[in-house]
Amino acid sequence: MADIAILDTRERVLAGIFLTGAAYLLFSTQDASIKLLVTSMSVWQIIFFRSITILGACAAIGGQQLFADTVRSRIVRPMLVRSAFTLAAWLCYYNAARSLQLAELTTVYYAAPIIVTVLSVVLLGEKVPVLRWLAVLIGFAGVFVACDPAHLGLSVPVLLVLTAACLWGIAIVLLRKTALAERSMIQLLLNNFYFLVFSAVPALLWWHTPDPTQLLLLASVGALGGLAQYLLFEGMKRSPASILAPLEYTSLLWAFALGFAIWGDVPRREVFLGAALIVAAGLLIVGGEHFRKRL
């Protein structure tokens, strides 16, 4: 029986790793699709279409019972606050996408996990070991190198990405209080219902009638984003956060590959070096946590 339990646990962990890795691939592909759209369409309209697509899928899968369960959920209010911060982060992030390479965009955005560490002290009162503060400094150094003051500097797009990272960091801290408290489908429905409400009026004010190619991209953004969110929620339920954390950095690899494949972008060496430092900082945090738990 013990062997069966161990095997079951291993299978759950492996499933969590697979689901989370697939989620980050889908998120990166979604970002590439949005980068193609933002040159001719407002971010509000993209989020509006994305939300409608995901809510339509939720209705088809869960039916009336899902909506009834969602109304009674205890995370309705916490998700409202978190969704507001998430939406603000995405608005900053995708507006910056007009001016930055996908690799630059993703690398600078990876200030977010570092900011989460700082905010966990300020907002949650967590105690952060010295090793993790060292990782934070290395991570900030990576972001600084990737920004390369001589090249990108503190331009408006870079400031938008850094603002997005701060807002996303706050959203992640809020997510820690609700992530495992509710079913994935309910989280998905609430998240995108709020996005729909927030984006409806601005989307209509800055409406651009999409052509067939843009309609296809909008549909892909909804499908990719919705499936990615669901896989991420499910992956988090199956594997410990310390195991899944390094998988987030696969987004950097996908961003580099997609940027080259679609736009022919070859990131500057500073972006590669910054990405390496950021990944090293993340792995140092994860390794430090494993070592601390063993002690």
pLDDT value at residue 67: 92
Give the whole-angstrom CA distance, residue 253 versus residue 251. Answer: 5
pLDDT value at residue 267: 82
Residues in the chain with pLDDT values less than 70: 1-8, 113, 117, 120-128, 148-153, 175-181, 240-246, 286, 288-295
pLDDT value at residue 70: 92
Neighbours of 7 (CB within 10 A): 10
pLDDT value at residue 252: 81
pLDDT value at residue 4: 47
In the structure encoding, which two tokens stand for residue 119, read together?
């905010």
pLDDT value at residue 289: 60
Q: Which residue has the tokens 């990166």?
A: 28
216-221: long-range pairs with CB below 8 Å, 24+:
217/33, 217/36, 217/37, 218/37, 218/46, 218/49, 218/50, 218/53, 219/49, 219/53, 220/30, 220/33, 221/30, 221/33, 221/34, 221/37, 221/46, 221/49, 221/50, 221/53
Which residues, other chains included, contact 108 with Cβ-Cβ below 8 Å and sequence gap of 6+?
Answer: 100, 143, 146, 147, 158, 161, 162, 165
Give the whole-angstrom CA distance, residue 271 versus residue 266. Answer: 10
In the structure encoding, which two tokens stand for residue 90, read together?
């995405």
